[in-house]
Structure 1
Amino acid sequence: MSDSEFSDKSILRSWHKNAAPWIRAIGEGDIASRKLVTDGAIVDAVLQRQPATVLDIGCGEGWLARALAERGPEVWGIDAVPELIGAAQHRAGPRERYRPLSYEALAAGEMRRRFDLLVCNFSLLGGESVEGIFAASGKLLNPGGHLVVQTLHPMVTCGDADYRDGWRPGSWAGFSGDFSEPAPWYFRTLESWLRLVRRAGLRLEEMKEPLHPETGKPASLILVATPIL
């Protein structure tokens, strides 16, 4: 993959191409770590804040929005991939609302309402687009609201590369052969994630590192932040 292909646009192009196999993979429970650890971890992290309204940013096919809505909150989901939004809408319950919307449009103010909680579940993989979401979070939250982010744990996913911010090539290792053109992703150190929180005018309220029961290593990193009053 050339340097020109490491970009937020490349991520979006990959997800447009792989929407159908992703929907199948989630529906069939193909990602073991999600079933064992991370799905439950993000649901618990959100529900602990007892939000009445939630915005699921990068909602994909809608599994998280459905899981949350079944437990009480009214949940809105946005995603830039129409096929994923269509799948979410097809299974939507009465407390779910979905609309196609890019991160850039969200950051620009096109979602004209506020929420008690914003959740990003493994959906912040880019560069500038992620910075835009953090910067806009204060304007999307009700007073006392929270931003909850689950992402790849930097210490585990760094591998043999230098521990510094930068683009990394993607991989569909472990997935079926239906997937192609893996999306690149922007690696951030823990310090960099915390810097995003501070620059957005947020205060880190909690940090969690859910452990994988088989490897004993962090399966993810969860950050919970709230606007500084």
Structure 2
Amino acid sequence: MEPLSDTQIIDAWQRNASPWKHAVRAGEIESRRLVTDQAVLDAVLACNPASVLDLGCGEGWLALALQQRGIDVTAVDVIAELVRAATDAGVIDARTLSYEEIAAGRLDVRADVVVCNFSLLGKESVDALLRATPTLLTPGGSLVVQTLHPLVACGDLPYVDGWRAGSWAGFGDAFSDAPPWYFRTLQTWIDLLRASGLLLREMREPLHPRTGKPASVIFRAQAAG
């Protein structure tokens, strides 16, 4: 069996782009509908940005919500079908680029906020992207990351970094071959931000109203110095 990797994440999302677009737009994902969509929107708006770079934008719901509030948004994703969906929905500036291309300097954009909403799933690609993030921020700008809360997402497995198999549990039959993801502890996330030249300024833990447990964790960081 082939080891889990960043490449498999992209392959799986290419296969599942269409059902994902439908699921998000139909409000089928309960945690997003009840908690996490509003949580990340609030975290970005709290920074009072004039410009936002949405990395891993998916079908573009967040970019569109920010754009409708008068914010200049550049939305980027590696999956061309999702970028087309974002454009069709009305996102003005949507581009197809990989994290590796961004890390190599292919994205000539600076923004007041760089936001990654449940889009930092891999290992090497994410490490490289975060190292490049300070070059994407305007002076005093913030990186906002929403991701699975490690203490909840860990489940019954050991609380150590490593690749995890994905799951579409709770989703419809249209989904197949769930993408793997790289699990990081809270300490590893904080260390990774620091190693990338970023300082953690705030951490939020939005609670799910039905379970009372964190539905996610949101980090806000700024370039050191």
User: In which range does the TM-score fall when normalised by the shorter chain?
Assistant: over 0.9
Aligned equivalent of 2:182:
186
Q: Using the alignment, how far apart are the partners of 1:136 and 1:5 within structure 2? A: 26
Aligned equivalent of 2:17:
19
Kindly state the Cα deviation for residue 8 of structure 1 after the two structures are TM-superposed.
0.3
- Supply the RMSD in Å over aligned alpha carbons: 0.8
Give the 3-state SS of the residue equivalent to 1:90 in structure 2. Answer: helix
Q: Alpha-carbon deviations, 1:122-149, whole Å to 9, x = none?
A: 0000000110111000111110000000
Give the 3-state SS of the residue equivalent to 2:40 in structure 1. Answer: helix
The partner residue of 1:64 within 41, 62, 65 is 62
* TM score, norm. by length of structure 1: 0.97
Q: Alpha-carbon deviations, 1:92-137, whole Å to 9, x = none?
A: 15xx310100010011100112111100000000000110111000
More displaced, 208-217 or 69-78?
A: 69-78
User: Is residue 203 from structure 1 mapped to residue 199 from structure 2 by the alignment?
Assistant: yes
Q: Using the alignment, how far apart are the partners of 1:149 and 1:29 within structure 2? A: 21
Aligned equivalent of 1:217:
213
The partner residue of 2:6 within 8, 18, 27 is 8
Q: Using the alignment, how far apart are the partners of 1:107 and 1:54 within structure 2? A: 17
Alignment-mate amino acid for residue 42 of structure 1: V
The partner residue of 2:223 within 215, 223, 227 is 227
Q: Using the alignment, how far apart are the partners of 1:17 and 1:24 within structure 2? A: 14
Alignment-mate amino acid for residue 56 of structure 2: G
Kindly state the Cα deviation for residue 5 of structure 1 after the two structures are TM-superposed.
3.8
Ranges of 4+ aligned residues in structure 1 off by more than 2 Å: none
Q: Using the alignment, how far apart are the partners of 2:63 and 2:28 within structure 1? A: 19
Aligned equivalent of 1:145:
141
The partner residue of 1:162 within 158, 174, 179 is 158
How many residue pairs end up in the alignment? 225
Give the 3-state SS of the residue equivalent to 1:110 in structure 2. Answer: coil
Q: Using the alignment, how far apart are the partners of 1:113 and 1:89 within structure 2? A: 18
Question: Structure 1 residues 54, 225: CA separation in 2 closer, same or farther (over 3 Å shift)?
Answer: same
Q: Using the alignment, how far apart are the partners of 1:126 and 1:205 within structure 2? A: 23
Give the 3-state SS of the residue equivalent to 2:31 in structure 1. Answer: helix
Kindly state the Cα deviation for residue 91 of structure 1 after the two structures are TM-superposed.
1.2
Q: In structure 1, list runs of 5 or more residues that go unmatched.
A: none
Q: In structure 2, list runs of 5 or more residues that go unmatched.
A: none
Aligned equivalent of 1:109:
105
